Amino acid sequence: MSGEVDALYLYLCGVTAFFTLLIYALVIYFVIRYRRRNPSEIPRPIEGSTKLETLWSVIPLLIAMTIFVWGAKVYFAQYRPAQNALEVYVVGKQWMWKFQHATGQREINELHVPVGQRVKLIMTTEDVIHDVFIPAFRIKVDVVPGKYTTEWFNATKPGRYNFFCAEYCGMNHSGMRGYIEVMEPTAYENWLSGNAAASPAAAGRGLFESLGCVSCHGANAEGGRGPALMGVYGSKVVLNDGQSVVADEGYVRESILNPQAKIVTGFGPIMPSFQGQISEEQLLQLVAYVKSLSTAKPETPTEKPPPPSAKPSAQPKSSPSASPKK
């Protein structure tokens, strides 16, 4: 991706330089060619040229459209979510970066990744706005309190690459930096095996049980008080107001911190908020756990199960789909 960004930048520089030199050359030519040769000389009137005016309007338009189309192509390629990428959870904090791999390894102000593999950063912050800027990869994305932002890259050459916080965040803003260590696949696997730890999904499962979430959100919505979570991530969730939303990271986060914001159809607003009770890292772990339950995505949203006295339907059950909210 950095090569495409560089090519577009060089194209912009080339267009700018060409027209700058062309205009200067024409100005000098006209000054000399059409200068007044004696004080009494009166220049003849010049009528406008429709062809010339059309030409100098159409050519810049075409050039501007090439810049727009090329820039849009690069933008959408950069900010479209990466498929089949290694996911790394990132938490910014004055003044450090905390990384956790999907396999559990934790790092501070450094990130080890394999060469030739897409890496997706799922980022949030515990305090103020930060920004992850990796100059060598030509990517820069704000990390905003209260939401998740993402960026991805695919390093094609092993080495060490610096990254910085590019959003002023306090006294030690300039020291909020680190590096990305891009490794050969074999070396990366060796690094992973030497830094074994509990995965975010496993830690999230422990939190899920210790916070009592399992009493309402069982795998198949046992008890009927809350929707099931099996397969909910990435599926469409139907709300009480008739709207539907996609259960992504932001939706799961909002369901935990502000469960009354979006109520799943068939359920009441009985879930308490966990705002202030869990940290950003724990939120990411809970999100990772919910994502781990999406191995078999349902096609229809979960509806509230019938009471125990209801007669079971003769129709075959469809796979459940739900959200972490009640």
pLDDT score recorded for residue 325: 46
The chain-wide mean pLDDT, for the chain, equals: 83
- One domain, residues 210 and 251: yes
- One domain, residues 95 and 168: yes
Q: Which segments within the chain are labelled E, that is strand?
A: 86-93, 96-101, 106-108, 110-114, 118-125, 130-134, 139-143, 149-154, 159-165, 177-183, 236-238, 244-246
More confident residue, 235 or 299: 235
pLDDT score recorded for residue 314: 41
Residue 11 tokens, joined: 């194209």
74 Cβ neighbours under 8 A, 6+ residues apart: 1, 4, 5, 8
- One domain, residues 279 and 235: yes
Q: Which tens digits make up the pLDDT trace of 111-134?
A: 999 998 999 999 999 889 999 999
pLDDT score recorded for residue 178: 93
pLDDT score recorded for residue 107: 92
More confident residue, 178 or 83: 178
More confident residue, 137 or 298: 137
Of 104, 90, 122, 86, which Cα lies nearest the Cα of 193?
104
Residues 256-266, mean pLDDT to the nearest whole number: 85
pLDDT score recorded for residue 315: 42
Residue 37 belongs to some domain of the structure: no
CATH code of the domain covering residue 107: 2.60.40.420
CATH code of the domain covering residue 232: 1.10.760.10
pLDDT score recorded for residue 80: 82
Count of the separate structural domains present in the chain: 3
Residue 228 tokens, joined: 């099931």
- One domain, residues 96 and 185: yes
Domain hosting residue 73, numbered range: 1-21+53-78
- One domain, residues 68 and 93: no
Residue 40 belongs to some domain of the structure: no
- One domain, residues 186 and 216: no
Residue 273 belongs to some domain of the structure: yes
* N-terminal to C-terminal alpha carbon distance within the chain: 42
Residue 128 belongs to some domain of the structure: yes
Q: Contact, 137 vs 161, CB < 8 A?
A: yes
Residue 315 belongs to some domain of the structure: no
- One domain, residues 98 and 171: yes
- One domain, residues 185 and 168: yes
- One domain, residues 9 and 74: yes
pTM over 0.75: no
pLDDT score recorded for residue 221: 52
- One domain, residues 72 and 100: no
Report the C-alpha gap between 194 and 201 in whole angstroms.
20
Residue 178 belongs to some domain of the structure: yes
- DSSP-derived letter for residue 231 is T
